Amino acid sequence: MTVQRATNITVSTVSAAPLRGTIEIDCAGTVATFAIDEEMAHRLCADLERFLTQVPRRTRAAR
């Protein structure tokens, strides 16, 4: 699997009731667009919160 570096992310609201939107992720000159709903947005938010609050792990060599 090739991992691309995201260069820009845009979130847009399509509908407020029910809450729906799109996420556009720019990678290497290509834009991937994903439809999301409120449930997916909450799951994404929780996953990003866990990612941002991870405690860096020290290796045995660093001790």
Report pLDDT for 58: 66
Rounded-to-integer distance, Cα 24 and Cα 8, Å:
8
Residue with tokens 């556009």: 24
Tens of pLDDT, residue by residue over 3-23, are: 889 999 999 999 999 999 999
Cβ density class 29-46: b for 16+ within 10 Å, e for less: eeeeeeebeeeeeeeeee
Tens of pLDDT, residue by residue over 30-63, are: 999 999 999 999 999 999 999 999 977 666 665 5
The reply to whether the predicted model has a pTM over 0.75 is no
Report pLDDT for 4: 87
Q: Tokens for 9?
A: 């992310």
Q: Tokens for 2?
A: 């090739």
Q: Tokens for 60?
A: 């045995």
